[in-house]
C-alpha cells in the first residue's frame, strides 16, 4: 500500500541536501572544542554551519546557539530567562495559552511565576491579555505559528505590548521557518526557537537565536560551549544537516508556500464538504497546517482508520502523542472536551503532492462514518 504522509508538523522527511551535508561532516574526526588540527577542522565545519543557518534566518552568527532541539531552546528562554540575575526584579514569564508543551510546561514549572495569556476562538492572543502585562514580567513567549492549528499570532502587537513594560520577547518559530517570511533581525524579537527536523533536517538538533544582550542564564552546567548558555559537545554533522535544510527551505519558501497553500485549500474544501466538520484556526493561518473537528467521532478512532487506509495524520502535537486527552490548544480556544477530543491535524511539507490530498479526501468519508458509528455504540 502506498503511504500518504501528512504529518510534516511532527517531523518532515530528511532532505537529500541535509543527508549529503551530514555524510560529508561525519567523515570529519575531532571535537570542535579541541585545539589540535582535527579539532580545528571540526570547529571550522561547525562555524560554517552556524554562518549558513544564521544567513537563512536573518541573524548574526554570534546569535545562533545550537541546542538538542526545539524543546531545549524553549526551556532555555523560559527557565533561563526567569533565572537570569538581570531579571531578578521581574520574576514572571508570560506565555500564551496555546504554546507548545516545551514552553507551557516550562512556564508551569516556575511555581506561580508563569502567567498565561488568554486567546480567542481562533487561538490568537487577546488584546486584553497583552494589556495585562506589567513590570513584573521578564519575558513574553508567544509562538509564531501554532503547531496544532496553524494560527499565525499577532507578533507585532505582542512585541509592542512587551516593550511597553520593558519585557523581552521570544517566539517559537519552529512551524514558521520555511513557510512564512522569517528574519530575526527584522522581527523585533529578542530570541527565537527553530528546529531542524521540521524543515527536513535531522532529528536531535535545534537552535535558540538570541540577541547577545538578551537576559538569559544557562539551565544546565558544563564546559561552557555555545556562549556558555548550552554546554556540551555540539554534533557537527547534525548542525551541518540543519544548516543545509534551512538554506534550502528558506530559498524555496515563496514558491513552496504558494504550492502548499494551494494543496491546503484543496484539502480544506474536501474536509469541509463532510457533514458536521469544523475547520479550526481562523483565517490567519500558515499554508502547511489544517486542523479540523469531526463532531461525533473520537480522534483516535479516525486516526487509526485513516492509518489503515494509508494516510499518516495526527491528533495534535507529536510531543503528546499516545496521551489520550483532549487537545489543550483547542480547550484554550474555548472548545468543549468532546470537540477537543474529535480533532485531527493534517500537515504538509516539501514532499507533499496532489496525490496525498486526494488520498485523504477519498479515505475520509468512509473512515468518518465508521468512527462515528463506533463512538455511538
| 319 among known catalytic residues | yes
Residues 6 or more apart in contact with residue 264 via CB below 8 angstroms: 287, 288, 289, 290, 348
How, if at all, do strands 64-67 and 206-210 pair? antiparallel
Residues 6 or more apart in contact with residue 48 via CB below 8 angstroms: 240, 243
Q: Which three cell numbers stand for residue 343?
A: 480533532
Choose the catalytic residue: 41, 118, 268, 319.
319
Residues 6 or more apart in contact with residue 87 via CB below 8 angstroms: 81, 138, 139, 215
Q: What's the DSSP call for residue 316?
A: S
With b meaning 16 or more CB within 10 Å and e meaning fewer, what string describes 100-113?
Answer: bbbbbbbbeebeeb
- Torsion region of 301: left, alpha or beta (phi above 0 gives left; psi -120 to 50 gives alpha): alpha
Looking at 252-317, list the stretches that DSSP marks H as alpha helix, in order from N- to C-terminal side: 253-272, 299-308
62: helix, strand or coil: helix
Q: Measured between alpha carbons, how far is residue 110 from residues 89, 92, 129, 208 in Å? A: 15, 8, 19, 20
- The span from the CA of 210 to the CA of 47, in Å, is 16
Looking at the chain, list the stretches that DSSP marks H as alpha helix, in order from N- to C-terminal side: 16-26, 37-57, 70-82, 101-108, 127-131, 155-164, 184-187, 236-251, 253-272, 299-308, 328-332, 337-340, 354-376
- The span from the CA of 300 to the CA of 314, in Å, is 9
Q: Which residue is associated with the grid cell 502547511?
A: 288
DSSP secondary structure of 143-190: -SB-TTT-BBP-HHHHHHHHHHTT-EEEEE-TTTBTTB---HHHH--S
Q: Measured between alpha carbons, how far is residue 339 from residues 125, 205, 295, 312, 329 in Å? A: 21, 34, 6, 21, 12
Q: Point out the residues that are catalytic.
A: 319
Amino acid at each position: 500500500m502506498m503511504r500518504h504522509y501528512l504529518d510534516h508538523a511532527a517531523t518532515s522527511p530528511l532532505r537529500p541536501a541535509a543527508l549529503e551535508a551530514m555524510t560529508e561532516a561525519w567523515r570529519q574526526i575531532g571535537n570542535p572544542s579541541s585545539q589540535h588540527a582535527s579539532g580545528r577542522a571540526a570547529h571550522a565545519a561547525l562555524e560554517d554551519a552556524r554562518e549558513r543557518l544564521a544567513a537563512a534566518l536573518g541573524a548574526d552568527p554570534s546569535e545562533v546557539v545550537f541546542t538538542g532541539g526545539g524543546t531545549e531552546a524553549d526551556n532555555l528562554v523560559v527557565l533561563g530567562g526567569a533565572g537570569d540575575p538581570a531579571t531578578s526584579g521581574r520574576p514572571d514569564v508570560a506565555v500564551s495559552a496555546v504554546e507548545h508543551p516545551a514552553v507551557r510546561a516550562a512556564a508551569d514549572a516556575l511555581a506561580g511565576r508563569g502567567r498565561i495569556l488568554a486567546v480567542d476562538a481562533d487561538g490568537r492572543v487577546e488584546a486584553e491579555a497583552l494589556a495585562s502585562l506589567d513590570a513584573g514580567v521578564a519575558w513574553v513567549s508567544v509562538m509564531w505559528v501554532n503547531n496544532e492549528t496553524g494560527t499565525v499570532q499577532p507578533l507585532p502587537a505582542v512585541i509592542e505590548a512587551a516593550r511597553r513594560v520593558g519585557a523581552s520577547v521570544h517566539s517559537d518559530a519552529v512551524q514558521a521557518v520555511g513557510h512564512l517570511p522569517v528574519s530575526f533581525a527584522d522581527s523585533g524579537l529578542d530570541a527565537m526557537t527553530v528546529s531542524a527536523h521540521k524543515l527536513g533536517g535531522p532529528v536531535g538538533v535545534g537552535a535558540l537565536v538570541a540577541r547577545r544582550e538578551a537576559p538569559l542564564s544557562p539551565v544546565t552546567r558544563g564546559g561552557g560551549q555555545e556562549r556558555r548558555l548550552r554546554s556540551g559537545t555540539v554534533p557537527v554533522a547534525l548542525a551541518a544537516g540543519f544548516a543545509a535544510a534551512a538554506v534550502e527551505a528558506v530559498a524555496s519558501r515563496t514558491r513552496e508556500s504558494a504550492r502548499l497553500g494551494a494543496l491546503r485549500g484543496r484539502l480544506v474544501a474536501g474536509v469541509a464538504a463532510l457533514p458536521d466538520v469544523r475547520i479550526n484556526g481562523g483565517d490567519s493561518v500558515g499554508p502547511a497546517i489544517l486542523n479540523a473537528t469531526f463532531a461525533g467521532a473520537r480522534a483516535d478512532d479516525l486516526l487509526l482508520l485513516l492509518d489503515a487506509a494509508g494516510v499518516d495524520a495526527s491528533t495534535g502535537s507529536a510531543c503528546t502523542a499516545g496521551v489520550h486527552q483532549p487537545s489543550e490548544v483547542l480547550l484554550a480556544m474555548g472548545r468543549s472536551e468532546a470537540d477537543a477530543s474529535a480533532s485531527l491535524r493534517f500537515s504538509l511539507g516539501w514532499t507533499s503532492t496532489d496525490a496525498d490530498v486526494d488520498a485523504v479526501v477519498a479515505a475520509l468519508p468512509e473512515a468518518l462514518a465508521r468512527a462515528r458509528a463506533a463512538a455511538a455504540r
